[in-house]
Homo-oligomer: A and B are copies of this chain.
Amino acid sequence: MKGPDAERAILTCADRLFYERGIEGVGMADVRDAAGVSLRRLYLLHPSKRHLVAAWLEDRHNRWMVWFRQTVERRTAEGTDALLATFDAIEEWATSPGYRGCAFVNTLAEVSEIDETHRAIVRTHKRALIDLLAELATRDHPDGPPWLPGALAVLIDGAIVRAAIFGSTTPIADARSAAARLLEVPPCP
């Protein structure tokens, strides 16, 4: 196996394993077996498990943001308000097999294997979500209140975590209803 192929296989398998079982539930030998590389190559590419986790988080952040933006755009093209479409994207995700909530929130919860590098990536991810929402709000709802992107981010993260806990899309539907209400014009004077 060539270098780039091995790196892709490692990150792909690490993503599946870490998301499925949590960081502490996956050993380096598990990643080795799943990716079909030698332990030697694994450690040459990622000098320690911490490095591997950091590389995984970076990779997942990039792929998730691309997926989320594309899914929202697709729904928007079908006529849905862009900000409401974010909840449809989350619902798509939450109904996919193996859904376990937000990998970044889960990683932060596993405090014993996390370091400041990991924390920084998690913050970057959540900051990127709010930035994307602010971008959509500025474009489609320029008269909304200044706290709108932050509130939508809270609704999205709350829906992600409650959907994972209950294995249900009801929290996402509730959050979407609330968001729709927030996007309506304010009450008459």
User: Which residues in A have some Cβ–Cβ distance to B below 8 Å?
Assistant: 20-22, 24-25, 100-101, 105-113, 122-123, 126, 145, 147, 150-151, 153-159, 161-162, 164-166, 170-171, 173-175, 177-178, 181-182, 184-188
Q: Report how many copies the assembly holds.
A: 2
Q: How many angstroms from the CA of A21 to the CA of B165 in the assembled complex?
A: 21
A109 x B22 contact (CB < 8 A): yes
Write out the residue numbers on chain B whose beta carbons fall within 8 Å of the beta carbon of A185: 187
Asked whether A151 and B177 contact (CB < 8 A) given A108-B164, A111-B100, the answer is yes
Measured between alpha carbons, how far is A123 from B163 in the docked complex, in Å? 11
Chief secondary structure at chain A's binding surface: helix
Q: Report the Cα distance A151→B171, complex, angstroms.
A: 7
Contact A177 B147 (CB under 8 A): yes
User: Knowing A126-B162, A154-B174, A161-B161 touch, does A25 contact B187 (C-beta < 8 A)?
Assistant: no
**B22 touching A112 by the CB < 8 A rule?**
yes
CA distance A123 to B157 in the complex (A): 17
* Known interface pairs A100-B111, A175-B151; A126-B165 also in contact (CB < 8 Å): yes
- On whether the beta carbons of B165 and A154 are closer than 8 Å, the reply is no
A155–B126 CB distance below 8 A: no
Q: How far is the CB of A179 from chain B (nearest CB, A)?
A: 9
Among A25, A156, A174, the one with the most B-chain Cβ atoms within 10 Å of its Cβ is A174
